[in-house]
Every structure is written in C-alpha cells, then in structure tokens.
Amino acid sequence: MINYSTHQMSKQLKSIWRLKMFKFLMYNIIDRFGKSLVPLFHTNPKNVGVDSISIKGLRLYHARPLSIVHISDLHIGFQYNYHDLIEHIKIINQLQPDIVMITGDLFDNLEVFKENPNDYIPLLKTIKAPLGVYFSYGNHDQRTHLTHDLETVLTNSHITVLNNFGKYINYDGEEIYVCGTDDILNASGNIEQAIRNRKHHNDYTITLVHEPDYADFVKKFNVDLQLSGHSHGGQIFIPMLGAPIKPSLGQKYLKGLFKLKYKKHSMHLHVSRGLGSTHLPIRIFAKPQITKIYIK
C-alpha cells in the first residue's frame, strides 16, 4: 500500500483544483456556444478504436499466443449507456479473446444512477471468454457505500472480482497467475496481498490496477504485465500540448504501452484510454479504446 507523502498529497490537491477550474471553463464554453458542441465531440460507440499489440514473456512455447481484450472506464450512467455496452460487447466477442480484463470504473456513480444496475447482468453475461472475465475496482467504484452492490452485479454476471486477490489460469499447459488490486486512491489497493497466492515468483503474472502510476511500485514484485485505465488518455488531448488535466496517479503514464525495468526484470504496462467519459460529456482527440493484447 502506498503511504502518501506531503508532496504527493499536494500534487493530488493541485490536480483536483486544476480539474475543477477546467470543468468550469469547459461548461462555460458549452453554455456560451451551445449544446451543439457536445455531439460534435461525443464519439459514437461504433466509432471506437480497436487496437492490437503483441508482447513476449510466456515461459513455454505455444502454437498461438494468449489473447486478452482489455477495456476500462465505461462510466455507465454518465453519457455511456446500455446501448453503448451492447455495441462494445459485440466488438469484444468478434475479437474472440481467451480472456477479457476490465480495469475499473464500470459505473460512474451508483449513488445517482437512475437505472437498476441489476438490469445489466444479462448483458454482461454475454461477454465470451473461455478463460474468464476479470475485474478490478477503480476510484469511481470505491467512492460510495454501494461497492457491495457492484460486486453482486459482477459476481452474478460471472465476472471474477480481483480485489487484492489472485488465482491461476491454465493456458495450453502453462500456469499463469492473474491478480488485481483494490483501488489505490479511494480504498486499500495492495499488490503484495494480490500476489500472496502466487506459488513461484517467476510464474508469468498479470495484474489489474486501475491507476497506472502505481506501476512504479508494482514492477518491484516480478509482475510481467500490468493493465490499467483511469486516465482516459487525457479525455481532452490537445496536439502539441498534451492533456491539460491528468488525474492523480494517472499523470506519468497517460496511455499506450510502456516497458518498465526494475533491476533485471522488465514489466509491460498497458494503459487504456477507456470507453466512457466523466466530469465532462466529451472526448477530444482521445478516442475510446478496446485493445486486444497478444502474449507470446
């Protein structure tokens, strides 16, 4: 678990202040120039970016690589809706992954959610992945007292919640350790607890952690691949300038694939741009993303 220093807390407060100021400015722009700006920057769910990446690391030879579909940050209830999820599950199933991994913020805020989250169970059950669907909590999942309700929805949808917990899956004779942490910002995420069931430190290990910047700590524990979200790729990304607002623990690794080293070990980190939006109902140059990862 991260012990925040005064410097880290100061950075978090500055990030919150910048976000509030940016939201204020953007809402005033939308109000001044009309709601027509929102559909201009609202991405149709069918216009999602489907990306493919390949990495190496499995300990045994396999006739075909292990395939993972990684999605994150749907924020259902804030612009993203039931029909968006239908379209994205169609895409996921067409990709025919071995595993589907969701790195948090499934719903935006269950306390103000106007629908019944249980209505999503039949739809979530239609995700097809022979080696399972796995989920780790994000900061929006853990900011209300209704986290237990979300866990019930996920469990009844046949989705495994990796809450400082891990388990082995067998892929073509190779034991792969899959684990995930609780949210780092709003809960008690702890990679040391998540890997406690790992038999051997050199077993290929995948971990789900909502906040990407936690990777600088995770890399010390012989993890091979960390999957994260949280940053939305900036959600609003300005060419040449970057993202004006970056969330706490999503500032260093904004989007894409990274390779981190610690002593003799290397860890891949993939940060998804996510599918939904929050705070502002727009995305600018930060296209929603579904990623298929091949591991050889």
- pLDDT for 280: 83
Residue 166: the pLDDT is 99
Domain boundaries, the chain: 6-295
Q: Which amino acid appears at position 163 of this protein?
A: N
| pLDDT for the residue 1 | 47
Six-digit token pair at 164?
Answer: 């400082």
Q: CB burial class (10 A; 0-12, 13-18, 19+) of residue 217?
A: middle
Spell out the residues 6+ positions from residue 131 whose beta carbon is closer than 8 angstroms to its own.
98, 99, 169, 171
Q: What is the pLDDT of residues 258-273, one digit of tens each?
A: 999 999 999 999 999 9
Q: Which helix (H) or strand (E) holds 149?
A: helix 147-156
**Residue 91, both tokens:** 């895409």
pLDDT bucket at 43, cuts 50 / 70 / 90? low
Contact 194, 166 (CB under 8 A): yes
pLDDT at residue number 17: 66
The band of 2, judged by pLDDT with boundaries at 50, 70 and 90, is: very low
The DSSP code for 231 is S
Domain 6-295 class?
Answer: alpha beta
Say yes or no to pLDDT of 93 above 70. yes
In which band, very low, low, confident or very high, does the pLDDT at 123 lie, cut at 50, 70 and 90?
A: very high
pLDDT tens-digit readout, 96-115: 999 999 999 999 999 989 89
| The pTM of the whole model exceeds 0.75 | yes
DSSP label of 241 = T
Residue 7, pLDDT > 60, answer no
Query: Could you tell me the two tokens for 158?
Result: 């046949």
pLDDT at 22 over 80: no
pLDDT at 207: 99
Residue 26's pLDDT is what? 56
